[in-house]
Amino acid sequence: AQSVAQPEDQVNVAEGNPLTVKCTYSVSGNPYLFWYVQYPNRGLQFLLKYITGDNLVKGSYGFEAEFNKSQTSFHLKKPSALVSDSALYFCAVTLSGYSTLTFGKGTMLLVSP
Amino acid sequence: GAGVSQTPSNKVTEKGKYVELRCDPISGHTALYWYRQSLGQGPEFLIYFQGTGAADDSGLPNDRFFAVRPEGSVSTLKIQRTERGDSAVYLCASSSVGGEQFFGPGTRLTVL
């Protein structure tokens, strides 16, 4: 069985500071990893994915994530946070790109002005 | 182009009633997924269609839940004899072959 852990319910950061949202995963095999963002009353929006290759993946809105196989982690990062980044962030894993996703419980990111 | 659409956006029903939730995927996407998101939780997989057939329905919680995709496009999630515990946001997603999943805005189901 595959699982995702997002250890922080909430992350608080000041605008302009770097942010990190943590994610660790457990899967038998090579993972496909995703980050999605959810704004209030809206659906999940795809941010970025890791399939293979370079461990540092760049995505939408200046976000990036680093795949670390030895630590089974896929932390989301951004060098300079914006107030508009405040939202609920979900990490997800699957064993192939064409299969069902297993999500973490989400991390609320709050960026203060 | 148009994204994934879901109707209705909100559905309030009484315990024991039958409900249908509709999903219109992105045109050309052969894969369609249903997830359920309870308050404070991440989405949980319900069922996955490849074309017209259910490739994986292992996430359906019990036999009150059923989904169809008769023409390989629009899908309907059907819930019989609704219970208060069925209250959640039901999310639909679609994808092309090997592609990431694109999600609709969801249907918020409230069972009174």
- Write down the domain spans for chain A: 3-112
Confidence band for A1, pLDDT divided at 50, 70 and 90? confident
Dump pLDDT digits (tens) for B46-104: 999 998 998 899 999 999 999 999 998 999 999 999 999 999 999 999 998 778 899 99
Chain CA centroid to CA B79, Å: 10
Interface check for A49 against chain B (CB to CB < 8 A): the answer is yes
Confidence band for A13, pLDDT divided at 50, 70 and 90? very high
Confidence band for A28, pLDDT divided at 50, 70 and 90? confident
Across B19-37, average pLDDT:
96
Round to whole Å and give the CA distance between A105 and A91: 8
Tell me if A102 sits within 8 A of A24, measured CB to CB. Answer: no
Residue A107 pLDDT > 80: yes
Round to whole Å and give the CA distance between A25 and A101: 12
Supply A17's token pair. Answer: 């500071």
Residue of A nearest to B59 (CA): A100
Per-residue pLDDT, B1:
55
Round to whole Å and give the CA distance between A26 and B10: 35
Q: In chain B, what residues touch A49 (CB-CB under 8 Å)?
A: 100
Across A44-73, average pLDDT:
93
Per-residue pLDDT, A12:
98
**Residue B59 CB-density burial (10 A; 0-12 exposed, 13-18 middle, 19+ buried):** middle
Spatial CA neighbour of A46 closest among A29, A65, A18, A31: A65
Give the residue with greater pLDDT, A53 vs A6: A6
Per-residue pLDDT, B100:
86
Per-residue pLDDT, B2:
82
Per-residue pLDDT, B98:
76
Residue at token pair 């219109």: B24
Residue at token pair 């069972």: B111
Round to whole Å and give the CA distance between B5 and B106: 8
Across A47-75, average pLDDT:
94
CB atoms within 10 A of CB A15: 14
Best of B101, B107, B108 to substitute, by most chain A Cβ atoms within 10 angstroms, is: B101
Tell me if A18 sits within 8 A of A81, measured CB to CB. Answer: yes
Give the residue with greater pLDDT, B98 vs A82: A82
Round to whole Å and give the CA distance between A60 and B18: 40
Cβ distance A103 to B43 less than 8 Å, yes or no, reads yes
Architecture of domain A3-112: Sandwich (2.60)
Give the residue with greater pLDDT, B96 vs B18: B18
Interface check for A36 against chain B (CB to CB < 8 A): the answer is yes
Architecture of domain B5-98: Sandwich (2.60)
Burial A50-76 (b: 16+ CB within 10 A, else e): beeeeeebebeeebbbbbeeeebbbbb
